[in-house]
Each structure stands twice: as C-alpha cells, then as structure tokens.
C-alpha cells in the first residue's frame, strides 16, 4: 500500500475519534486495487458531503488528473470497522496542496497553501473531525514554511475560529444590454476573434498570469481549472460543456491581451440571457472592447456576471451607468496568516512608523506580540516582549491582510483593540492601496 497510513493517530488523545483512523492518500498512488478503492472511496465521500451525484468514471479521471498535477494531499478519517458499509469511504474529507502565487499587493506574490473539499459525514458531524483535520493541516503547512493559507467557504461562520478572515469579495452583476447599453467612445487599435475551446487555453493562461502579476488579491489557477475553464469537462453535466464560448481581444500586433467566456442561457426570468464566466484583460482598452462585444451579442437582453470586482471600470465607461445592477456581493477568498514575519514583510505599507501588534490565535500558530516597523513602504517584523498596542485576532489579521477592509471599519466593528492614538498609527501604516480582486474559487 503506497498510501501514507497512520493508524490510530487520533485515537488516544481525542476520545471522539475512537474507531476512526486518519490517513493521507497520494492521488498518484493507484498501483494496487486497494489504493484505487481508497481513492475512489474518498471521491464518493466528497460527493456525498456536498450533496452531489455519485461520481462517474469520467469525473474520477478528471478529478484525479487535477489532483495529481497539483500533488494534492487527500486526507480524511476512515472507520476502523463497518457492519454493512464499505470501509473505503472516509467519514471526513480534507484536501490541501502547495498552491500557486497570490498577489499580496505592491507587485509582490506569496505562494498560497490551498485547502478545499472539507466535508464530514452527517453520521459523524460535530464531534471535532473538522477541527482535528484543520489543526494538523495548518500546523504541517506552517512547518513546511507556508506564510499564508486560503480557502473559499460554503458558510461564513465556520472558519473564523480557525483564524481565517474574509479577505476578498466579488459582485454579481445584471447588465441591461438592450438599446440602453452604450460605452463612451474609446480608441481600439486591436481586434476581436471568437475562438474554439481547443484554441484558447494558452491565451487564457498567459492573460491570467498577467492578472495575477498586476492585481492585488489575484490568485494562480489550480490545475483543475484547465478542464473546466475550457469546457473540456463540466462537473455538473459529467461531460464536455458544449455551450461555453470564448472571445479573445488581440492588440495591434495580433497578440492576445484579453479574453471573455460566455454561455447563452436562453430565456431566464423572461429575459434572453448571457452568463459571463470570466473577463480579463491586460489593458484597459481590451477590457472595454470585450464589454462592448459582450453587450452587443444578438438575441440577448441581459448579461449576468458573478465575478465582478467591487469597483468596475465598466460602470464608469457606460453612458448610462444604470444599465448595471448589483444583484449580490459574495465573499470569495478567506485568508489565514501562518508566518507573521514572512506575510507582513511581503505586503505593502503606507506610512513610516512602528506598532507593537498583539495577535490572538486560538490555534496558537501566530500568538504573541510583534513589532512592525515600516520604512518607505516595507515592514520589518520581529517578535517582542513589549506591551501590545493594537490587539486583533488571527481572523481579523486575515481580513485586513489584502486591504479588503480598513482599520476604522474593523474598529467600529469591535474587532480591533487599542488606544485611539495606537489605532490611528496602525491605520496609517496598514490601510491603503487598491481593493483586492480575486476570481479564483477552489
Ligand atoms: C462544515 C463541516 C465540515 C463541519 O464538520 P464537523 O466535523 O461537524 O465540525 P467540528 O465538529 O470539527 O466543529 C468544529 C467547530 O466548528 C463549528 N462548526 C462546524 N460546522 C459549522 C457550521 N456549519 N456552521 C457554524 N459552525 C460550525 C462547531 O460548532 C465547532 O465549534 P467549536 O469547536 O468552536 O465549538 C460539516 O458540517 C460538513 O461537512 N458540512 C457540509 C459540507 C460543507 O459545507 N463543508 C465546508 C466546505 S467550505
């Protein structure tokens, strides 16, 4: 058996886990029938946990392809014995991997420890399995030197207790593209080309890499994105997505500098509707040209987009900004600082000065007081015995980290402690820069 099995790891010190065994599976280990059955069992349990249909062979193939490419660690608790059910299905699943770059602002990136596929079977809920998996995974990630961990959530009340803060948000837009839709005049020396899924991946990758490089909060795509972004495999249909379409914007020299993907949904709520998957461009002109295109698709009255930034140039480029309605604001990335020095020294700062920062971490990973000294936009961070001047939780640090919320707001929310003077000093140091924008869900 090539899987890394650690029998009984949690049985002695965690009474609620009696009868369960923690294991880590390697998605590349499929040499024996036993390995394959455990991997398939893990996938079955995951689908059950998210109330999805049972995976088909095609689902397994695509899922394992992505998991192998990213060297994902598939973790879980398995029952030691079962009377009737298959022992291959874990009662808890948890996946994590060393993900790609996250833009932390100021043109800097840090690799993100990415966590997903968190489920606990209804038969074993609320007895500490998630807590146990999260503790061991974050401790191991910190040990391996990761400065930041991230996840996206099904419910907003679960992960604050583990030190994750709501770091980025997205808007859902509904855009009226009837005759009201018109952009202010702009010059476009480039052109547009509609391309097929098989032709688009290299351009998507290049343009997204530039988005990660230039946009605070943007995050590299995990390997599984290739299959679903290009429509090679639609998870819900369990087959290729035959309806997704792509347009590229080309600069004057014919190089792709923007893309949009969309699906015509037919009539929805009485209106002929296009759903946009993603729009990204490396220049403002390409962005506007793509929106001019999307707003001009025939037989369409409305365009919906669920991944818009909180502030979008589109609204300011329209002759009638009321064409755009915000229908929802969602959180996307939740961040957790694992290494205070590496994380804080990487991000940008906005005034010179020094503050003793008191961090409260229920998991004990970043607890303590840290002296943050900023000179010309860069911080030096060291542990200190000094009295903490500004006090916040690991969760609040995660929320503040990318600049998605500022000190006065968090203070008004009762999430920062300290004197007026210390909080003003801290705010001057930490608050500033563009709002973060992340479209990479996982
Ligand atoms: C969310 C889920 C994984 C929790 O697993 P669990 O093993 O029951 O959680 P634990 O027993 O370890 O609970 C740990 C803590 O989180 C809290 N918690 C767990 N699930 C919660 C929820 N859905 N909402 C709010 N708090 C929750 C517990 O009350 C406990 O709090 P405490 O220790 O501070 O008192 C499980 O309910 C589940 O599989 N839900 C469906 C799938 C899902 O939504 N997964 C999350 C994907 S992001």
Q: What pLDDT does residue 14 have?
A: 58
126 lines ligand 1 (CB under 6 A): yes
Residue 245 falls inside a structural domain: yes
pLDDT mean over 231-243: 95
* Residue to substitute in 14, 46, 77, 130 for testing ligand 1 pocket (most ligand atoms within 8 angstroms of CB): 130
Q: Which of 94, 224, 246, 442 is catalytic?
A: 442
Question: Residues 136, 14: one domain?
Answer: yes
The pLDDT tens digits for 324-346 are: 999 999 999 999 999 999 999 99
48 lines ligand 1 (CB under 6 A): no
Contacts (Cβ under 8 Å, ≥6 apart) of 338: 113, 138, 141, 142, 146, 147, 148, 149, 365, 366
Question: Residues 187, 325: one domain?
Answer: yes
Last residue of a domain, one of 79, 112, 146: 146
C-alpha dist (Å) from residue 187 to 63, 280, 366, 416: 43, 18, 51, 47
Q: Is the pLDDT of residue 30 over 80?
A: no
pLDDT mean over 162-169: 98
46 lines ligand 1 (CB under 6 A): no
Beta strands in 361-418, from DSSP E residues, in sequence order: 368-375, 378-383, 390-393, 417-418
Q: 132: CA distance to ligand 1 center in Å?
A: 11
pLDDT mean over 258-266: 98
Question: Residues 325, 346: one domain?
Answer: no
pTM: 0.95
pLDDT class of 50 with cuts at 50, 70, 90 = very high
Q: 118: CA distance to ligand 1 center in Å?
A: 9
pLDDT mean over 182-187: 98
Question: Residues 306, 407: one domain?
Answer: no
pLDDT mean over 75-93: 97
CATH number at residue 131: 3.40.630.30
Question: Residues 425, 350: one domain?
Answer: yes
3 state DSSP class of 200? helix
Q: 188: CA distance to ligand 1 center in Å?
A: 51
Residue pointed to by tokens 């295109």: 293
Q: 139: CA distance to ligand 1 center in Å?
A: 19
Last residue of a domain, one of 313, 330, 347: 330
pLDDT class of 164 with cuts at 50, 70, 90 = very high
* Residue to substitute in 120, 122, 159 for testing ligand 1 pocket (most ligand atoms within 8 angstroms of CB): 120
Q: 355 near 422, Cβ under 8 Å?
A: yes
Q: Could you tell me the sign of the dihedral formed by the alpha carbons of 20, 22, 27, 30, in that order?
A: negative
Residue with CA at minimum distance from ligand 1 atom 17: 158
Q: Which of 22, 94, 159, 162 is catalytic?
A: 159
417 burial type by CB count under 10 A (0-12 exposed, 13-18 middle, 19+ buried) = middle
* Residue to substitute in 10, 127, 158, 163 for testing ligand 1 pocket (most ligand atoms within 8 angstroms of CB): 158
Residue 392's nearest CA partner among 371, 376, 369 is 369
Q: What pLDDT does residue 31 have?
A: 75
Residue 227 falls inside a structural domain: yes
Question: Residues 348, 412: one domain?
Answer: yes
Q: How many CB atoms lie within 10 A of CB 123?
A: 8
Q: Is the pLDDT of residue 10 over 80?
A: no
Q: What pLDDT does residue 320 have?
A: 98
The pLDDT tens digits for 278-313 are: 999 999 999 999 999 999 999 999 999 999 999 999
Residue 209 falls inside a structural domain: yes
Q: 166: CA distance to ligand 1 center in Å?
A: 17
C-alpha dist (Å) from residue 36 to 41, 43, 95, 408: 8, 11, 17, 53
418 lines ligand 1 (CB under 6 A): no
Radius of gyration of the chain (CA): 24
pLDDT class of 6 with cuts at 50, 70, 90 = very low
Number of domains in the chain: 3
CATH number at residue 372: 3.30.1050.10
Question: Residues 312, 178: one domain?
Answer: yes
135 lines ligand 1 (CB under 6 A): no
Residue 394 falls inside a structural domain: yes
Instruction: Report the mean per-residue pLDDT for the chain.
Output: 95
pLDDT class of 2 with cuts at 50, 70, 90 = very low
Question: Residues 365, 391: one domain?
Answer: yes
Residue 182 falls inside a structural domain: yes
Q: What pLDDT does residue 110 have?
A: 98
- Report residue 382 CA to chain centroid gap: 29
C-alpha dist (Å) from residue 391 to 215, 370, 384, 405, 409: 29, 10, 14, 16, 15
Question: Residues 183, 303: one domain?
Answer: yes
In order, the DSSP letters of 256-313 are EEEEEEEEEEEEETTEEEEEEEEEEESSHHHHHHHHHHHTT-TT-SEEEEEEE-SS-H
Q: What pLDDT does residue 262 have?
A: 98
The pLDDT tens digits for 413-437 are: 999 999 999 999 999 999 999 999 9
Q: How many CB atoms lie within 10 A of CB 322?
A: 9
Q: 68: CA distance to ligand 1 center in Å?
A: 27
Residue 438 falls inside a structural domain: no
How is the beta sheet containing 302-308 ordered, strand by strand? 191-195, 245-250, 256-268, 271-281, 302-308, 169-176, 324-331
Q: 121: CA distance to ligand 1 center in Å?
A: 11
For residue 442, indicate whether it is catalytic.
yes
Question: Residues 373, 420: one domain?
Answer: yes
Last residue of a domain, one of 280, 306, 330: 330
Tokens at residue 40, please? Answer: 């398939």
Q: Which residues pair with 4 in a beta bridge?
A: 24
pLDDT mean over 125-149: 97
- What is d(CA 355, CA 228) in angstroms, rounded to the nearest whole number? 45
Q: Is the pLDDT of residue 8 over 90?
A: no
Polymer length in residues for the chain: 442
Q: What pLDDT does residue 16 have?
A: 75
Q: What pLDDT does residue 85 have?
A: 96
For the CA of 50, the closest atom of ligand 1 is: 42
Question: Residues 191, 238: one domain?
Answer: yes
Q: Could you tell me the sign of the dihedral formed by the alpha carbons of 200, 205, 210, 211, in that order?
A: positive
Q: Is the pLDDT of residue 362 over 50?
A: yes
- What is d(CA 212, CA 78) in angstroms, rounded to the nearest whole number? 38
3 state DSSP class of 240? coil
Q: Which has more confidence, 14 or 33? A: 33
Q: 335 near 402, Cβ under 8 Å?
A: yes
In order, the DSSP letters of 61-115 are HHHHHHHHHTT-EEEEEEES--SSS-TTS-SEEEEEEEEEEEEEETTEEEEEEEE
- What is d(CA 63, CA 47) in angstroms, rounded to the nearest whole number? 12
Residue with CA at minimum distance from ligand 1 atom 18: 158
Residue 369 falls inside a structural domain: yes
Domain encompassing residue 100: 4-146
**How much of the chain, in percent, has pLDDT values that exceed 90?**
94
pLDDT mean over 379-405: 98
Q: Is the pLDDT of residue 64 over 60?
A: yes
Residue 154 falls inside a structural domain: no
Question: Residues 284, 204: one domain?
Answer: yes
Using CA atoms of 22, 28, 33, 34 in order, give the dihedral in degrees to the nearest 10: -10
157 burial type by CB count under 10 A (0-12 exposed, 13-18 middle, 19+ buried) = exposed
- What is d(CA 182, CA 348) in angstroms, rounded to the nearest whole number? 37
């Amino acid at each position: 058996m090539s899987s890394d099995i650690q029998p009984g790891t949690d049985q002695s010190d965690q009474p609620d886990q009696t009868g369960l065994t923690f294991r880590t599976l390697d998605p590349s280990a499929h040499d024996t029938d036993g390995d394959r059955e455990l991997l398939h069992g893990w996938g079955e349990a995951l689908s059950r946990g998210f109330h999805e249909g049972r995976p088909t062979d095609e689902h397994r193939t695509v899922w394992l392809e992505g998991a192998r490419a990213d060297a994902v660690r598939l973790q879980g608790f398995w029952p030691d014995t079962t009377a009737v059910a298959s022992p291959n299905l874990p009662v808890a699943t948890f996946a994590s991997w060393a993900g790609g770059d996250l833009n932390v602002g100021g043109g800097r990136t840090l690799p993100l420890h990415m966590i997903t596929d968190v489920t606990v079977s209804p038969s074993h809920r609320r007895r500490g399995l998630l807590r146990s998996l999260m503790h061991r995974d974050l401790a191991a990630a910190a040990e391996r030197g990761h400065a930041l961990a991230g996840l996206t959530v099904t419910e907003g009340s679960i992960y604050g207790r583990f030190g994750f803060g709501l770091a980025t948000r997205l808007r859902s837009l509904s855009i009226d593209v009837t005759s009201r839709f018109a952009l202010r005049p702009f010059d476009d020396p480039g052109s547009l080309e509609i391309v097929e899924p098989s032709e688009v991946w290299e351009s998507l990758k290049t343009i997204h890499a530039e988005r990660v490089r230039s946009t605070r909060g943007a995050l590299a795509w995990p390997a599984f994105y290739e299959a679903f972004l290009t429509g090679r495999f639609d998870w819900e249909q369990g087959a290729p997505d035959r309806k997704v379409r792509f347009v590229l914007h080309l600069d004057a020299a014919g190089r792709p500098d923007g893309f949009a993907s969309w699906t015509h949904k037919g009539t929805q709520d009485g209106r002929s509707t296009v759903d946009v998957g993603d729009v990204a461009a490396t220049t403002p002109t390409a962005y506007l040209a793509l929106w001019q295109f999307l707003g001009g698709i025939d037989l369409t009255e409305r365009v919906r987009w669920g991944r818009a930034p909180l502030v979008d140039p589109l609204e300011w480029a329209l002759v009638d900004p009321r064409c755009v309605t915000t229908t929802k604001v969602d959180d996307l990335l939740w961040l957790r600082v694992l290494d205070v020095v590496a994380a804080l020294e990487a991000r940008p700062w906005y005034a010179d000065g020094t503050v003793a920062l008191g961090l409260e971490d229920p998991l004990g990973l970043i607890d303590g007081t840290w002296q943050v000294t900023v000179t010309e936009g860069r911080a030096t961070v060291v542990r200190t015995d000094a009295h903490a001047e500004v006090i916040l939780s690991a969760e609040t640090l995660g929320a503040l980290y990318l600049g998605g919320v500022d000190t006065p707001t968090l203070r008004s929310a009762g999430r920062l402690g300290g004197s007026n003077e210390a909080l003003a000093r801290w705010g001057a140091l930490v608050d500033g820069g563009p709002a973060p924008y992340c479209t990479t869900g996982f």
